[in-house]
């Protein structure tokens, strides 16, 4: 059972004991603290299709009303839809009920400020401290908040997307695209058909029922997408489109059933945007170098940040970036809003394909070719990640060819490859991402660092147990996923 509190929000497994999971008592504390933290009393609530969503929604809405907040419940809604709803209603903040790409036993609270953007790290820290202190009080009978149901924001989101200057609706319609979409049994199955109908795109939806009973793991990685890949190979489609449960991540599949590459979602959309509006770009430290290369080709500057949407958006504002996001398929396009948005990504990508008059695989071949390996190491709370990363740093500090960054975990950058180890914001794992010119080189580098992590953990545990004279009771608890 797990509860994770981070810059990206609060995520946990449903059920279990207070303090260990995302249970009703924890939800009340977190919601109460958020209500006290925001300056104002109008809060938007949206949720994805998870089976626990109704239970969590009821607690969140009731608690907000109990804190004296007026609630605008927008129902089933993607995270980007909810972000836009905050701005459209002039609300003071929002709680999005979702666990993003995590499995069905998880749920979470993504917390947004009055701009419809994620809380900055210092704000998150302050809000979580309030939750721990329970320093809040509830409204009396005359001060209880009111509830309004407003389910119009899916269409308003679509309208905002198709009205973007670089979304060429006419070109998309003339191209007569046929797409296959995996909506992973969540809110994508509600809003994406509306988007395609508006764009004049012929579509087939897989896993379109918004039941929360996910047909596969909701993270849009190739080994989770065998169903849509098989369907792409059986029938003729121009493109395969995959989203996660709250529709802020986006991955494409080429017409021949091969992966376009989740990392290249941002690269391809950025290339299209930069060709019309040159400027700077931003992504996080775990994203492909290809964005840097494409940005430089268009005369802009590329910047990298620590992981977390709030970090990326803050840097985008600082450097006046025209587009940004992250390598997991997150598109942040300020012309619409400062938030990862799969609908924006889809519309811009289809516009690009229509303008290029080529296939998805042909478009992919135009970009610098890097291969990225994404692995992880499972953790339990007593793994001292910081101590292990310190040991890893000491090992590679002796290599003059390596540039080391500790902006977020540990990134070791070589001239022709890189590897990044960091504790996840959303799961009890250490993520190990590595990139090189070939997948074999990327895998080799990632596996080397995972084995080294394993050895350092083993060494630290051994020394700790030896000092406690308790070697016989040791059970090793972190195993690399190879």
Assigned token pair, 2:
């797990």
Active-site position among 100, 351, 352, 434: 100
100 is catalytic: yes
Chain centroid to Cα 462, Å, comes to: 36
Cβ neighbour number for residue 406 with a 10 Å cutoff: 12
The residue with tokens 């995270």 is: 79
Chain centroid to Cα 1, Å, comes to: 22
What torsion do the CA atoms of 95, 99, 104, 105 make, to the nearest 10 degrees? -80
Q: Name the β-bridge partners of 111.
A: 95
SS3 letters across the chain: CCEEEECCEEEEECCCCCCCCCCHHHHHHHHHHHHHHCCCCEEEEEECCCCCHHHHHHHHHHHHHHCCCEEEEEEECCHHHHHHHHHHHCCCEEEEECCCCCCCCEEEEEEECCCCCECCHHHHHHHHHHHHHCCCCCCCCCCCCCEEECCCHHHHHHHHHHCCCCCCHHHHHHHCCEEEEECCCCCHHHHHHHHHHHHCCEEEEECCCCCCCCCCCCCCCHHHCHHHHHHHHHCCCCEEEEECCCCCCEEEECCCCCECCCHHHHHHHHHHHHHHCCCEEEEECCCCCHHHHHHHHCCCCEEEECCCHHHHHHHHHHHCEEEEEECCCEEEECCCECCCCHHHHHHHHHHHHHHHCCCHHHHHCCCCCCEEEEEEEECCCCCCHHHHHHHHHHHHCCCCCCEEECCCCEEEECCCCEEEEEECCCCCEEEEEEEECCHHHHHHHHHHHHHHHHHHHHHHHHHHHHHCCCHHHCCCCCCECC
Interacting residues of 189 by C-beta distance below 8 A, sequence separation 6+: 49, 183, 205, 207, 208, 209, 210
Cα separation of 283 and 307, whole Å?
9
CA end-to-end distance (rounded Å), the chain: 24
For the annotated catalytic residues, the residue numbers are 100
């Amino acid at each position: 059972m797990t509860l994770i509190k981070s810059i990206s929000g609060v995520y946990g497994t449903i059920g279990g004991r207070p303090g260990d999971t995302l249970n009703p008592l924890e939800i009340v504390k977190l919601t109460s603290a958020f209500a006290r933290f925001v300056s104002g009393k109008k809060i938007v609530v949206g949720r994805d299709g998870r089976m626990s969503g109704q239970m969590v929604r009821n607690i969140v809405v009731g608690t907000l009303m109990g804190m004296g907040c007026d609630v605008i419940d927008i129902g089933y809604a993607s995270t980007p839809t909810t972000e836009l709803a905050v701005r459209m209603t002039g609300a003071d903040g929002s709680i999005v009920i979702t666990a993003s790409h995590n499995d069905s036993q998880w749920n979470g609270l993504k917390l947004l400020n009055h701009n419809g953007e994620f809380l900055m790290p210092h704000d998150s820290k302050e809000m979580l401290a309030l939750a721990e202190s329970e320093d809040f009080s509830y409204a009396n009978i005359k001060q209880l908040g009111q509830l309004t149901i407003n389910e119009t924001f899916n269409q308003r989101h679509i309208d905002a997307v198709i009205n973007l200057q670089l979304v060429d609706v006419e070109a998309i319609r003339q191209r007569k695209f046929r797409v296959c979409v995996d909506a992973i049994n969540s809110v994508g199955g509600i809003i994406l058909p509306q988007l395609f109908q508006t764009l004049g795109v012929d579509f087939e939806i897989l896993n379109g029922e918004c039941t929360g009973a996910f047909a596969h793991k909701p993270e849009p990685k190739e080994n989770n997408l065998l169903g849509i890949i098989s369907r792409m190979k059986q029938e003729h489609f121009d493109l395969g489109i995959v989203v996660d449960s709250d529709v802020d991540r986006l991955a494409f599949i080429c017409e021949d059933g091969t992966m376009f590459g989740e990392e290249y979602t941002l690269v391809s959309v950025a290339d299209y945007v930069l060709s019309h509006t040159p400027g700077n770009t931003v992504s996080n430290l775990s994203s492909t170098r290809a964005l840097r290369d494409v940005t430089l080709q268009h005369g802009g500057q590329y910047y990298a940040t620590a992981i977390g949407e709030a970090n990326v958006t803050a840097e985008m504002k600082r450097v006046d970036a025209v587009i940004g996001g992250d390598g997991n398929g997150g598109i942040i396009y300020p012309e619409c809003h400062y938030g990862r948005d799969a609908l924006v990504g889809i519309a811009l990508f289809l516009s690009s394909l229509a303008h290029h008059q080529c296939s998805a695989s042909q478009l992919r071949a135009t970009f610098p070719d890097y291969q990225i390996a994404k692995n992880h190491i499972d953790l339990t709370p007593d793994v001292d990640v910081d101590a292990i990363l310190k040991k890893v740093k000491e090992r590679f500090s002796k290599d003059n060819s390596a540039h080391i960054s500790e902006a977020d975990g540990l990134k070791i950058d070589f001239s022709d490859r890189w590897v990044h180890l960091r504790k996840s914001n959303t799961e009890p794992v250490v993520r190990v991402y590595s990139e090189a010119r070939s997948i074999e080189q990327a895998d080799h580098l990632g596996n080397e660092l995972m084995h080294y992590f394993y050895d350092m953990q083993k060494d630290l545990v051994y020394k700790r147990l030896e000092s406690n004279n308790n070697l016989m009771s040791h059970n090793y608890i972190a195993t690399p996923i190879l």
